[in-house]
Amino acid sequence: MCGIVGYIGKEQAAPIILDGLGKLEYRGYDSAGMAILKDGQIQIKKSVGRLKVLEELTHGGSLMEGVVGIGHTRWATHGAPSNENSHPHVNQKETIAVVHNGIIENYIPLKNKLIEKGYSFQSETDTEVLAHLLDYYYKGNPLEAITKVLHRVEGSYALGIMFMDQPDQIFAVRKDSPLIVGQNEDGCFIASDVPAILKYTRKVYFVDNQEIVRLRHDHMHFYTVDEEEITKEATTIDWDTEAAEKAGYEHFMLKEMYEQPKTVIDTLKPRLKGNEIHFDELKMTDEQLKAVRKIHIVACGSAYHAGVTGKYVLEGVARIPVEVDMASEFRYRSPILEEGAMVVVVSQSGETADTLAALREAKKLGFPVLGIVNAVGSSIAREADSVIYTWAGPEIAVATTKAYSAQLIVLYLLALKFGMVKGTLEQNCYEEMIADLKKLPDQIELLLAHKEKIQHFANRYIGAKDIFFIGRGIDYSISLEGSLKLKEISYIHSEAYAAGELKHGTISLIEEGTLVTAVSTQPALYQKTISNMVEVKARGAFVMAITNEGNKEIEKAADYVIYIPDTNPYFTNSLAIIPLQLFGYYVAVGKGCDVDKPRNLAKSVTVE
Ligand code: F6R
Residues 372 and 349: their CA atoms lie apart, in Å, by 10
249-260 pLDDT, tens digit per residue, is 999 999 999 999
- The reply to whether ligand 1 has any atom less than 6 angstroms from the CB of 355 is yes
Per-residue confidence at 243, pLDDT binned at 50, 70, 90? low
**Considering only CA atoms, which of 493, 471, 487 is closest in space to residue 569?**
471
- What is the DSSP secondary structure assignment for residue 507, as one 8-state letter? G
The confidence score (pLDDT) of residue 247 equals: 79
Per-residue confidence at 283, pLDDT binned at 50, 70, 90? confident
Boundaries of every domain in the chain: 3-237, 248-448, 450-593
The confidence score (pLDDT) of residue 605 equals: 79
- The reply to whether ligand 1 has any atom less than 6 angstroms from the CB of 605 is yes
Among 152-161, 490-499, 552-561, 594-603, which is the least confidently predicted range? Answer: 594-603
The confidence score (pLDDT) of residue 405 equals: 98
- Mean pLDDT of the residues in the chain: 94
Tell me how far the alpha carbon of residue 355 lies from the centroid of ligand 1, in angstroms: 10
Tell me how far the alpha carbon of residue 467 lies from the centroid of ligand 1, in angstroms: 21
The confidence score (pLDDT) of residue 2 equals: 82
- The reply to whether ligand 1 has any atom less than 6 angstroms from the CB of 349 is yes
463's CB contacts (< 8 A; 6+ apart) are: none
Per-residue confidence at 608, pLDDT binned at 50, 70, 90? low
The confidence score (pLDDT) of residue 242 equals: 65
**Distances in whole angstroms, Cα of residue 410 to Cα of each of 142, 313, 406, 547:** 42, 11, 6, 24
CB 337 within 8 A of CB 292: no
CB 419 within 8 A of CB 318: yes
The full 3-state SS of 143-195, as one line of letters, equals HHHHHHHHHHCCEEEEEEEEECCCCCCEEEEEECCCCEEEECCCEEEEECCHH
Domain 248-448, CATH class in plain words: alpha beta
Backbone angles phi, psi at 162, to 5 degrees: -140, 135
- The whole-number average pLDDT for the span 447-476 is 96
Q: What predicted TM-score, i.e. pTM, was given to this entire model?
A: 0.78
Per-residue confidence at 245, pLDDT binned at 50, 70, 90? confident
CB 314 within 8 A of CB 322: yes
- The whole-number average pLDDT for the span 315-336 is 95
Buried b / exposed e along 542-568 (16+ C-beta atoms within 10 A): bbbbbbbeebeebeebbeebbbbeebb
What CATH number matches the domain at 3-237, 3.60.20.10, 1.10.3720.10, 3.40.220.10, 3.40.50.450? 3.60.20.10
- The whole-number average pLDDT for the span 91-106 is 94
What is the spatial order of strands in the sheet that 170-175 belongs to?
Answer: 89-90, 96-104, 155-163, 170-175, 211-215, 220-224, 229-230
The confidence score (pLDDT) of residue 235 equals: 86
The confidence score (pLDDT) of residue 394 equals: 80
470's CB contacts (< 8 A; 6+ apart) are: 476, 479, 496, 497, 498, 499, 502, 516, 517, 518, 519, 529, 532, 533, 536
113-172 pLDDT, tens digit per residue, is 999 999 999 999 999 999 999 999 999 999 999 999 999 999 889 999 999 999 999 999
The residues that bridge with 103 in the sheet, in sequence order, are: 156
72-91 pLDDT, tens digit per residue, is 999 887 888 899 999 999 99
CB 72 within 8 A of CB 123: no
- The reply to whether ligand 1 has any atom less than 6 angstroms from the CB of 522 is no
Question: Catalytic residue at 603?
Answer: yes
Residues 205 and 184: their CA atoms lie apart, in Å, by 12
- What is the DSSP secondary structure assignment for residue 83, as one 8-state letter? T
**Selection from 61-70, 71-80, 271-280 with the highest mean pLDDT:** 61-70
534-584 pLDDT, tens digit per residue, is 999 999 999 999 999 999 999 999 999 999 999 999 999 999 999 999 999
Q: Which amino acid, residue 142?
A: P
Tell me how far the alpha carbon of residue 473 lies from the centroid of ligand 1, in angstroms: 22
Tell me how far the alpha carbon of residue 581 lies from the centroid of ligand 1, in angstroms: 15
Decide whether 3-237 matches 248-448 in CATH topology.
no
- Quick check: 241 pLDDT over 80? no
**Considering only CA atoms, which of 560, 552, 599, 559 is closest in space to residue 579?**
560
State which of 253, 298, 400, 577 you would mutate to test the pocket of ligand 1, scoring each by most atoms of that ligand within 8 A of its C-beta: 400
The residues that bridge with 296 in the sheet, in sequence order, are: 323, 343
- The reply to whether ligand 1 has any atom less than 6 angstroms from the CB of 303 is yes
CA-nearest residue for atom 10, ligand 1, is 302
The confidence score (pLDDT) of residue 258 equals: 96
Q: Which of 2, 188, 300, 593 is catalytic?
A: 2
Question: Catalytic residue at 487?
Answer: no
Residues 572 and 437: their CA atoms lie apart, in Å, by 10
242's CB contacts (< 8 A; 6+ apart) are: none
- Quick check: 1 pLDDT over 80? no
Q: Which of 262, 537, 591, 603 is catalytic?
A: 603
Residues 561 and 457: their CA atoms lie apart, in Å, by 11
**Considering only CA atoms, which of 418, 197, 447 is closest in space to residue 297?**
418
Q: Which amino acid, residue 192?
A: S
- Quick check: 416 pLDDT over 80? yes
- The whole-number average pLDDT for the span 185-194 is 94
Query: Which helix (H) or strand (E) covers residue 388, if one does?
Result: strand 386-389
Residues 89 and 97: their CA atoms lie apart, in Å, by 6
The confidence score (pLDDT) of residue 50 equals: 86
Per-residue confidence at 188, pLDDT binned at 50, 70, 90? very high
24-66 pLDDT, tens digit per residue, is 877 778 899 999 999 999 999 999 988 999 999 999 999 999 9
Residues 239 and 195: their CA atoms lie apart, in Å, by 10
**Selection from 185-194, 280-289, 291-300 with the highest mean pLDDT:** 291-300
CATH of domain 450-593: 3.40.50.10490
**Considering only CA atoms, which of 375, 254, 209, 361 is closest in space to residue 298?**
361
Where would I find the H helices in 368-510? 379-383, 402-422, 427-448, 451-459, 474-490
The confidence score (pLDDT) of residue 499 equals: 96
Tell me how far the alpha carbon of residue 423 lies from the centroid of ligand 1, in angstroms: 34
